[in-house]
Amino acid sequence: MTYTGLQLLVVYSRRGDSGETDTASGKRLKKDDPIIEWEGTLDELIANLGYSKVQIPWSDIRDDISQVQMDLFHLGEEILTSGKGRKLRDDGVSWMEARIAVYLKEIGEIKLFVVPGGSQEAASLQLSRTVTRRAERRLVELNEVEKVNPLSLKYLNRLSSLIFMMSLTANKRRKIEEVLFPWPNPKKNEQ
């Protein structure tokens, strides 16, 4: 069969069939290595954010998610190349703090603990927030083995707050009241 003007792309190499994979730095590692586990969680986070983004009708939140996805690709490259590739932008944390302030102004007072749910948009964002927390835990774990840029840890910590604020904003815009988990235990206080 002849393919004119088309290139056949093979999307598998069979090199990972034995439980190992190639890294951006050229090393071969087992697929349960901490850096591979972190990379997989980062991939899951970027995909979850993409799913959240297509649920969102508001351009400001969609634009913020797009910026975060690009930041996360840079973060991944920085970690996977041991700082030899593109890096997380220095102003990423301050940018998120500014965006959090904008959302906070819109939603007003925050009461903890919010039971995830409400609108489809908010529920999707809450799921992305939990994957962010796991990515953060995996990065802390990786940092024990191979020191990472402290900015990376700050970024992921702040990202979960930004996504939380986006979810509250989504419910506010949909005029859906948050369900709160009573804390501290009200029955304990009555005794």
pLDDT digits (tens, 9 = 90+) for 101-128: 999 999 998 877 898 999 999 999 999 9
The answer to whether the CB of 187 falls within 8 A of the CB of 149 is: no
For residue 133, the model assigns a pLDDT of 97
CB-CB contact of 149 with 88 (8 Å): yes
For 52, the token pair is 């959240």
Residue 82's H or E segment, with its range, is none
Task: Give the type of residue at 166.
Answer: M
CA distance 160 to 166: 10
Looking at residue 43, its pLDDT comes to 95
Taking the C-alpha atoms of residue 165 and residue 140, their distance in angstroms, rounded to an integer, is 23
How many DSSP H helices and E strands does the chain contain? 6, 4
Question: Which stretches does DSSP call E strand in the chain?
Answer: 20-22, 28-30, 114-115, 179-180
Amino acid at 145: V
Supply the pLDDT for residue 80. Answer: 85
Average pLDDT over residues 142-154: 92
Domain covering 28-190, topology: Hypothetical Protein Ta1238; Chain: A; (1.20.1200)
Sequential DSSP letters for 84-127? SS----TTHHHHHHHHHHHHHHHH----SPEES-SSHHHHHHHH
**Average per-residue pLDDT for the chain:** 87
